Amino acid sequence: MFLHGTSKKNDAGHLEIGGVDTVTLAKEFGTPLYIYDVALIRERARSFKQAFENMGVKAQVAYASKAFSSIAMFQLINEEGLSLDVVSGGELFTAITSGFPASRIHLHGNNKSRAELKMALDHEVGCIVVDNFYEIELIDELSKEYSRKVPILLRVTPGVEAHTHDYITTGQEDSKFGFGLLNGQIEQAMKTVLDSEGIHLLGIHCHIGSQIFDTAGFVLAAERVFEKINAWKEEFSYIPEVVNLGGGFGIRYTKEDEPLPATYYVEQIVEAVKKQVDDMGITMPEIWIEPGRSLVGDAGTTLYTVGSKKTVPNIREYVAIDGGMSDNIRPALYQAKYEAVLANRVTENHDKTVSIAGKCCESGDMLIWDLPLPEVQAKDLLAVFCTGAYGYSMANNYNRIPRPAVVFVENGEAQLVIKRESYEDLIMNDLPLKSKVSQG
């Protein structure tokens, strides 16, 4: 069994995270419950920053907040001195409400509305990552309204396909994101932007995909971008101040996954960039990255209570838990795999094989197939590891199941950071049917 971060088996034979017994957490906060190991998030954040410092490169590490966003999470990221990537008015609103400094917020999105852009300009966010020609027009127009220059990055699709699940590759040329790097679109965009009085082109952005385990794709993307930068030096007399190479660093969900340490990704990327910069004889731009999953993924664990069981003779045993695709849609959507243990009997032999079913009314709501566990009973606690990224943030109310609570644990203390939804919360925006006017 692989234990992440501060997770360990304690003397009571229970799973403990951040110095807090998960059985106690279940009693206090109920299940399903998302538990975040704060020390592990801090460690990841620091190692990304440190890696750039060690290489003497000016950098911004922006947390891709789509992985998990909440007020407390943004405050934690701010404490660690990272920047923030937001992709919607909702994420931006959460960030501003949390007190996150707007100057370190980057606004993304392939279809930002005028209202979202205005919100970003009202708060003077650090930069807007521009995705398409329509957005350039909008920003140019808004810059006049605000009478100031808007700092932007232009997002390119570098034509690099990362080896990962199809749904989560975004760097290939046939993508809804960004300007084609190789088909002339980026030059057209640059021309428009450089001619605009109201736009300050800080630099270039690219992101090649998610859950990537090797550095070749990042290095290739960086090389492609810098080849272009070399050409733009002549064509536009333009040298970017910033090159943002996105996120996508893989993490270990199961023993099949072999991620590299954060520092290694950074070293390889920076070395590739340095080589290009030296060859071109230009000043080293700031390097920005946007890790999401690798900052919070393995810091998150979901705790469930076991309920019913069903044995299909000679085939399998289904064990149902009190959550499922409503709190973790990744198995249903991406065939994502997870590991799990019985949190209340973690030291016992996990030598039976069962399949973990969610409680939603859908056959596809299976959390884990063929999981080794001890003999399971109702009321046992199942801890599913590595649910910290794209778990809560993709949670939904299918079957009107309330979304779970979220706690942060650190140094033996637990803090509730998102309350469990109540049934009242679920119907909060519902309005009753208009009563029929009686006829005749």
CB of 170 to ligand LLP, least distance (A): 6
Residue of the chain from 14, 224, 293, 359 that contacts ligand LLP (CB under 6 A): 293
Q: Which segment (233-241, 253-261, 277-285, 290-298) binds ligand LLP by CB under 6 A?
A: 290-298
- Residue 217 touching ligand LLP (CB under 6 A): no
DSSP string for residues in 258-322: -PPPHHHHHHHHHHHHHHHHHHHT-PPPEEEE--SHHHHTTTEEEEEEEEEEEEETTTEEEEEES
- Residue 240 touching ligand LLP (CB under 6 A): no
Q: How many residues bind ligand LLP (CB under 6 A)?
A: 22
CB of 63 to ligand LLP, least distance (A): 9
Residue of minimal CB distance from ligand LLP?
Answer: 292
Residues 6+ apart with CB under 8 A from 287: 52, 57, 58, 59, 242, 243, 244, 245, 269, 270, 273
Q: Which of residues 11 and 256 has its CB atom nearest to ligand LLP in the complex? A: 256
Tell me the C-alpha distance between 48 and 46, whole Å. Answer: 5
CB 163 within 8 A of CB 217: yes
Tell me the C-alpha distance between 86 and 77, whole Å. Answer: 13
* Pairing label, strands 300-312, 316-321: antiparallel
Q: Which segment (37-45, 69-77, 288-296, 312-320) binds ligand LLP by CB under 6 A?
A: 288-296
Q: Which of residues 7 and 210 has its CB atom nearest to ligand LLP in the complex? A: 210
Cα–Cα distances (Å) from 215 to 167, 289, 367, in that order, read 20, 14, 30
Helix, strand, coil shares of the chain as percentages rounded to 5? 35, 25, 40
- Residue 390 touching ligand LLP (CB under 6 A): yes
- Provide the 3-class DSSP secondary structure of residue 127: strand
Chain centroid, CA 361 distance in Å: 27
The number of CA neighbours under 13 Å toward the Cβ of 188 is 13
Q: Which of residues 87 and 193 has its CB atom nearest to ligand LLP in the complex? A: 87
Q: Could you tell me the maximum CA-CA distance found in the chain, to the nearest angstrom?
A: 88
- Residue 65 touching ligand LLP (CB under 6 A): no
Residue of the chain from 158, 248, 323, 402 that contacts ligand LLP (CB under 6 A): 248
CB of 156 to ligand LLP, least distance (A): 11
Residues designated as active site: 361
The verdict on whether omega for the bond into residue 32 sits within 30 degrees of 0, i.e. cis, is yes
User: By rule CB under 6 A, what string of x and - marks binding of each residue 69-98 to ligand LLP?
Assistant: ----------------x-------------
- Residue 328 touching ligand LLP (CB under 6 A): no
Chain centroid, CA 145 distance in Å: 33
- Provide the 3-class DSSP secondary structure of residue 85: strand
Q: Which segment (5-13, 216-224, 244-252, 357-365) binds ligand LLP by CB under 6 A?
A: 244-252
User: By rule CB under 6 A, what string of x and - marks binding of each residue 11-50 to ligand LLP?
Assistant: ----------------------------------------
- Residue 170 touching ligand LLP (CB under 6 A): yes
CB of 110 to ligand LLP, least distance (A): 9
- Residue 291 touching ligand LLP (CB under 6 A): yes
Q: Which of residues 7 and 65 has its CB atom nearest to ligand LLP in the complex? A: 65
CB 285 within 8 A of CB 239: yes
CB of 212 to ligand LLP, least distance (A): 8
CB of 372 to ligand LLP, least distance (A): 24
Q: Which of residues 176 and 255 has its CB atom nearest to ligand LLP in the complex? A: 176
- Residue 106 touching ligand LLP (CB under 6 A): no
Cα–Cα distances (Å) from 221 to 168, 246, 291, 305, in that order, read 16, 10, 16, 44
Residue of the chain from 20, 35, 67, 73 that contacts ligand LLP (CB under 6 A): 67
- Residue 302 touching ligand LLP (CB under 6 A): no
**SS3 for 342-407, per residue?**
EHHHCCCCCCEEEEEECCCCCCCCEEEEEEEECCCCCCCEEEEECCCCCCHHHCCCHHHCCCCEEE
Chain centroid, CA 110 distance in Å: 17
Q: Which segment (39-47, 73-81, 242-250, 353-361) binds ligand LLP by CB under 6 A?
A: 242-250
Tell me the C-alpha distance between 189 and 197, whole Å. Answer: 14
- Residue 331 touching ligand LLP (CB under 6 A): no
Tell me the C-alpha distance between 10 and 239, whole Å. Answer: 55
**Residues of the shown chain interacting with ligand LLP in the complex, contacts defined by CB under 6 A:** 64, 67, 85, 108, 168, 170, 207, 210-211, 246-249, 290-294, 330, 334, 389-390
